[in-house]
Amino acid sequence: MRLASVILDIPTQSLDSAYTYVVPDEFVDAEVGCAVLVPFGNRQAIGYIVELSQIDEGDPFAFSALGLDPSKLRSIGRVLSHSYFDELGARCAQYLSEEYIAPLCSCIRLFTPPGGVPRMVHTGTYWRLEEPSIGPVDDRWVRLGPAASGFAPKKTAVKQKAIVDALAAGELRVAELTMELGSISSVLKTLSDKGVIEIESRRRMRGLCEGEAGAAGSTSFVASAKPELTSGQAEALKVIGDAQRRASGEVVLVDGVTGSGKTEVYLQAIEDALARDEGAIVLVPEISLTPQTVARFRGRFGDTVAVMHSRMSQGERYDQWDLIRSGAARVVVGARSALFTPMPRLGLVIIDEEHEGSYKQDSSPRYNARDVAAWMVRERGATLVLGSATPSIETLFNCDKRDDWHRVVLAERANGKPMPEVTVIDMAREFGSGHRSMFSRKLTKALLETIEAGQKAVLMLNQRGFASFLLCRECGFVPECPSCSTSLTYHEKGSTLVCHHCGHREAVPPVCPECGSPYLKKFGAGTQRVEAELAGVLEGTGAHIVRMDADTTSAKGAHQRLLEEFASSGAAVLLGTQMIAKGLDFDDVTLVGVINADTMLKLPDFRSAERTFALIEQVAGRAGRAELPGRVMVQTYWADSCAIRAAATYDRSLFLRDELPKRRLLKYPPYVRMANVLVWGKDERAVEEAARELSREIERTVREQAGDGWSVLPANPCTLTRLRGTYRWHIVVKAPAGDDVSAVLLPLFRKRKASKTVNVAIDVDPHDM
């Protein structure tokens, strides 16, 4: 008898939702990865097979050995789909669930086709099986058949004639003809019966973003020639090639300055993989997943490249997913979740900008794609390539400590140009000397010079650092959201205050509600206000200003349009948020300005120095990429901070010498592993009580189960104590670096009963603290 372990897709707070069912003999197509319909309690539920096994019914102990009662075993009712994932995928879901302490069914969902799975929906009285809302779409195409040449339609057969005439120029979609001629299905049938036309069904690939050709049936690519490799690139490829040959799941960090040709290394490593008939997954941060980026891969590998990101519609993503599964696409370039696409014979995973926080998912399962990829390549005997100009401290640490992690340094730009010189401008001093503009004197002068020379500048406004809020200059009052403990953002338009967490809006008060002072003034600035001030600075120069932020890029394709607008202008300034820090490659950008380098000014976060360092290095890399030399100006209120000084001199070891001892002393990664347990709910009292209780429970567990060196910090309100009307507390757990945090905490979370009033979530290896 065949038994299947099935993970049920049911809303549940419990972590484990795997149940055993009998697989009736007639379901020969039941495989790991299939969606199935199973009885569950007094209703039907959908689940996914994660394991199949044989059991000898004649053996009286067989069932009890597995802890099963044969009289209670129920059977799978129906197999609903082909297999979405293989056994390793199923194991990966299990791993995710245990490592990140997340419900198994939420982990399994990562592996299913976007929008393409059946669901159970409740009609109010009963549960009904709903077929996937998204699936492949076929187009019917029509062309002239063998009998067309001798065919002469009757005078009255107007539609027949119209169709045959239209097809003389080549094949057409039935839908197009119908649009033109109205209902034609019976005419088409007549014609095709006579052999005058031929009709064929063909898969349609729903279109991608503008500028991205569909993976199948796309036509033109700008083929890119392979350059001669620099010695660094050649070395990187050799290390990657050796790792690929050993096929033991090794990791290679390509630690290369911006412009050192990391992408070329990825391209050639992929080429090697394809030559061995291995597939490749390339992860890129969501915001650098532009048509430009995709074009570089398509330029080399044509339409074997699939694309996957969140700005695509579900239908588009479904089609790409299906291309990958069918083996038609052997390379996928995508955001975080593309790691879970069913790439056959996966040989290579590449993660560009591996230090990026966006590889960490901020909802359950709270996985870090970088860490999951390392697990995945080990299991599959594949190779992981990480690339960055500013690798994360964790990754540098791993390369240092582990034999299976290798690091290759590309110290120079591929075109031999020097890195641009960085000037740090102390804004506190500027302010003290009476210069009150957000553009320092030096930056203003440089901007004007750049524009005068007919060149381009990129200005970055770090929104993480300064929110644009109101501050009473007399008493220090800052207007806050009544339901979230954050300052309200000032919007020029309509002079309103808006909460960016919950959307709360209110009018700007005429005087300070605390002390009545009229000096309630803006502090920091949003992109709109910087744009207005910039327009003043550049008045009369004729310079074009392009603003790129969440507002101006929300429409589909807007991102690309703005970049094209900037590229095609002469003298111009691109003003944007962090999203401009990476990937932009414009030859005539000679000035890069960082308006405010200080990140996370208001939020305490152990990574803020690392982030500041990385951001400045990234953005500096945008300047002087081609013939014209570039310069970089960094404005900051913290000019002597080590992160800023180190970034300005491209001196990572200076930064690390300052940062690592602090991390060690204060017990932060990479010296410890952390878990952040979040407790939240509407009832302040209940949340606080639950948090304190849970903290005691965790402490007890840690004392009984864990080794030395663990600490559980007392329950505390989060930095953002109130968010969308809920109260938030957290408990921080720290463990020695090599310890398995999840294994110790998992049993506690497994047996925790769900509560209606208080929610609990755990974030293992949190990214934001």
Q: Which is nearer to ligand ADP, 113 or 261 (CB)?
A: 261
Residue 107 annotated as binding?
no
By CB under 6 A, residue 279 contacts ligand ADP:
no
By CB under 6 A, residue 233 contacts ligand ADP:
yes
By CB under 5 A, residue 481 contacts Zn ion:
yes
Find the binding residues for ligand ADP in span 526-545 (CB under 6 A). Answer: none
Phi-psi category of residue 367: left, alpha or beta, with phi > 0 → left and psi -120 to 50 → alpha: beta
Query: What's the order of all strands across the beta sheet hosting 496-498?
Result: 489-491, 496-498, 505-507
Task: Kindly indicate which of the ranges 251-259, 445-453, 554-562, 656-664 contains the residues binding ligand ADP, using the contact rule CB under 6 A.
Answer: 251-259
Residue 484 annotated as binding?
yes
Q: 369 phi and psi, to 5 degrees?
A: -55, -35
Instruction: Please state the closest distance from residue 479 (CB atom) to ligand ADP, in A.
Output: 42
Instruction: Please state the closest distance from residue 515 (CB atom) to Zn ion, in A.
Output: 4
Q: Which is nearer to Zn ion, 62 or 478 (CB)?
A: 478
Task: Choose which of 159, 262, 300, 663 interacts with ligand ADP (CB under 6 A).
Answer: 262
Task: Sketch the per residue contact string, 488 through 527, with Zn ion: x for CB under 5 A, - otherwise.
Answer: -----------x-xx-x-------x-xx-x----------
Please check whether residue 484 is in contact with residue 724, taking contact to mean a CB–CB distance below 8 angstroms. yes
Side chain identity, residue 674: M
From the list Zn ion, ligand ADP, none, partner contacted by residue 760 (C-beta under 5 to 8 A by kind): none
| Tokens 């948020």 found at | 577
From the list Zn ion, ligand ADP, none, partner contacted by residue 475 (C-beta under 5 to 8 A by kind): Zn ion
Q: Which is nearer to ligand ADP, 414 or 706 (CB)?
A: 414
Closest CA to 677 of 703, 699, 708: 699
For residue 580, the 8-state DSSP code is G
Q: Which is nearer to ligand ADP, 414 or 589 (CB)?
A: 414
Three-class DSSP labels, 307-352: EECCCCCHHHHHHHHHHHHHCCCCEEEECHHHHHCCCCCEEEEEEE
Cα separation, 675 vs 748, whole angstroms: 14
Helix (H) or strand (E) holding 370: helix 369-380
Q: Which is nearer to Zn ion, 4 or 484 (CB)?
A: 484
Contacts of 258 (CB under 8 A, 6+ apart): 389, 413, 617, 618, 620, 621, 622
Cα separation, 552 vs 461, whole angstroms: 14
Please check whether residue 93 is in contact with residue 11, taking contact to mean a CB–CB distance below 8 angstroms. no
Q: Specify burial of residue 196 (Cβ count, 10 A radius: 0-12, 13-18, 19+).
A: buried
Q: What is the DSSP track for 657-691? A: HHHHHHHHHTT-TTSEEEEEEEEEES-HHHHHHHH
From the list Zn ion, ligand ADP, none, partner contacted by residue 596 (C-beta under 5 to 8 A by kind): none
From the list Zn ion, ligand ADP, none, partner contacted by residue 501 (C-beta under 5 to 8 A by kind): Zn ion
Count of positions on this chain that bind ligand ADP (CB under 6 A): 15
Task: Choose which of 248, 415, 437, 649 interacts with ligand ADP (CB under 6 A).
Answer: 415
Q: Which is nearer to Zn ion, 474 or 684 (CB)?
A: 474
Question: Angle CA(716)–CA(719)–CA(720) in degrees, nearest 5?
Answer: 115
Q: Which tokens hold the place of 575?
A: 């003003």
By CB under 6 A, residue 263 contacts ligand ADP:
yes
Q: How many CB atoms lie within 10 A of CB 708?
A: 6
Task: Kindly indicate which of the ranges 228-236, 551-559, 597-605, 706-714 contains the residues binding ligand ADP, using the contact rule CB under 6 A.
Answer: 228-236
Q: How many CB atoms lie within 10 A of CB 329?
A: 26
The Cα-based distances of 747 to 159, 730, 750, 760 in angstroms read 71, 19, 5, 15
* Residues pairing with 77 in the sheet: none
Instruction: Please state the closest distance from residue 581 (CB atom) to ligand ADP, in A.
Output: 12
By CB under 6 A, residue 259 contacts ligand ADP:
yes
Q: How many CB atoms lie within 10 A of CB 340?
A: 27
Task: Choose which of 151, 397, 477, 671 interacts with Zn ion (CB under 5 A).
Answer: 477
Task: Kindly indicate which of the ranges 108-116, 253-261, 587-595, 640-648 contains the residues binding ligand ADP, using the contact rule CB under 6 A.
Answer: 253-261
From the list ligand ADP, Zn ion, none, partner contacted by residue 218 (C-beta under 5 to 8 A by kind): none
Q: Which is nearer to Zn ion, 481 or 632 (CB)?
A: 481
Residue 92 annotated as binding?
no
Task: Choose which of 195, 227, 454, 518 interacts with ligand ADP (CB under 6 A).
Answer: 227
Q: Which tokens hold the place of 627?
A: 């013939």
Q: Which is nearer to ligand ADP, 280 or 698 (CB)?
A: 280
Q: Specify burial of residue 147 (Cβ count, 10 A radius: 0-12, 13-18, 19+).
A: middle
Task: Sketch the per residue contact string, 435 through 474, with Zn ion: x for CB under 5 A, - otherwise.
Answer: -------------------------------------x-x
Task: Choose which of 9, 212, 264, 430 interacts with ligand ADP (CB under 6 A).
Answer: 264
Task: Choose which of 20, 230, 304, 440 interacts with ligand ADP (CB under 6 A).
Answer: 230
From the list Zn ion, ligand ADP, none, partner contacted by residue 18 (C-beta under 5 to 8 A by kind): none
Q: Which is nearer to ligand ADP, 224 or 759 (CB)?
A: 224
SS3 content of the chain, % helix, strand, coil (to 5): 35, 25, 40
From the list Zn ion, ligand ADP, none, partner contacted by residue 529 (C-beta under 5 to 8 A by kind): none
Instruction: Please state the closest distance from residue 112 (CB atom) to ligand ADP, in A.
Output: 32
Cα separation, 583 vs 162, whole angstroms: 50
Instruction: Please state the closest distance from residue 421 (CB atom) to ligand ADP, in A.
Output: 19
Helix (H) or strand (E) holding 744: helix 741-751
Task: Kindly indicate which of the ranges 125-133, 139-147, 262-270, 284-292 contains the residues binding ligand ADP, using the contact rule CB under 6 A.
Answer: 262-270
Task: Kindly indicate which of the ranges 252-260, 319-327, 434-442, 647-655 contains the residues binding ligand ADP, using the contact rule CB under 6 A.
Answer: 252-260
Instruction: Please state the closest distance from residue 628 (CB atom) to ligand ADP, in A.
Output: 14
Residue 502 annotated as binding?
yes
By CB under 6 A, residue 583 contacts ligand ADP:
no
Task: Kindly indicate which of the ranges 147-155, 221-229, 478-486, 588-596 contains the residues binding ligand ADP, using the contact rule CB under 6 A.
Answer: 221-229
Residue 472 annotated as binding?
yes
By CB under 6 A, residue 388 contacts ligand ADP:
no
Q: Which is nearer to ligand ADP, 103 or 256 (CB)?
A: 256
From the list ligand ADP, Zn ion, none, partner contacted by residue 504 (C-beta under 5 to 8 A by kind): Zn ion
Q: How many CB atoms lie within 10 A of CB 60?
A: 9
Question: What per-residue string of b and e applies to 637-666 under the rule 16 or more CB within 10 Å gives b?
Answer: bbbebbbbbbbbebebebbbebbbeebeee
542-546 long-range contacts (CB < 8 A, ≥24 apart) are: 542/451, 542/571, 543/451, 543/571, 543/572, 543/573, 544/569, 544/570, 544/571, 544/572, 544/573, 545/572, 545/573, 545/575, 546/572, 546/573, 546/574, 546/575
Phi-psi category of residue 277: left, alpha or beta, with phi > 0 → left and psi -120 to 50 → alpha: left
Contact residues: ligand ADP, CB under 6 A:
227-230, 233, 256, 258-264, 414-415
Q: Which residues are annotated as a binding site?
A: 472, 475, 481, 484, 499, 502, 512, 515
Q: Which residues are annotated as a binding site for Zn(2+)?
A: 472, 475, 481, 484, 499, 502, 512, 515
